[in-house]
Amino acid sequence: MEINKNVVVIDNPLIEHKLSIIRNKNTGTKEFREIIGEIACILCYHALSDAKLKEIEIETPICKTKVNILDEDNYAFVPILRAGTGMLNGLISMIPNAKIGHIGLYRNEETLEPTMYYYKMPKNISKKEVIILDPMLATGGSATDTIKMLKKDGVKKIKFLCIIAAPEGIERLQKEYPDVKIFTSCIDETLNEKGYIVPGLGDAGDRIFGTK
């Protein structure tokens, strides 16, 4: 379901089923981590629906033929540490030769705004299509800071993938960077006073890594 040209919600019964499992506070670390990766894989499938292919010739067991392939080197995945790395395996299974960058951000619990502590991107990042990964788009602070740094490095095409988004995060991201397309599996109701998505699924990083 495309809300507007820049926000795509993957409305699918299978995703809805999997979301019900990871929302449940009793779901264990292993299952939670696996489902995050599975949903990320589905989001990647939709995010690359506009991918450009190049034609090459190969030989099947029967004959020579022309086929279309993806230039995997044109893509870079950038998980926002630490929770974004939980989505990474799902995307790597789709495009194993994509390059990977990392950005580390932590949230100031008083202001709810992010502070960057790490930034490392692949060579020639400005020439690649970058897909940012973060399970939760809450206030939008981490997303906008990441995009700001990538644009400073000259990146022209950026997409943002998240498992769950809050209306506040979508609004901020669209206002500051209307050229960045958002792919999510669900838009929840709102944020609470601590900046967590409601009903959400709790702290995605803690649940992915079993740290709480």
The domain limits of the chain are 2-49+71-209
Q: Phi and psi (nearest 5°) for 109?
A: -70, -15
Other CB atoms closer than 10 Å to residue 148's CB: what's the count? 13
Positions marked catalytic: 107, 111, 203, 206
Task: Give the mean pLDDT of 55-69.
Answer: 96
pLDDT band at 108 (very low <50, low <70, confident <90, very high): confident
CATH architecture of 2-49+71-209: 3-Layer(aba) Sandwich (3.40)
CB-count exposure of residue 86 (10 Å: 0-12, 13-18, 19+):
buried
Answer yes or no: is pLDDT of 134 > 80.
Answer: yes
pTM listed for this prediction: 0.91
Residue 1 confidence class, pLDDT cut points 50, 70, 90: low
Helix (H, G, I), strand (E, B) or coil at 34: helix
Pairing of strands 7-9, 53-59: unpaired
pLDDT tens string 139-157: 999 999 999 999 999 999 9
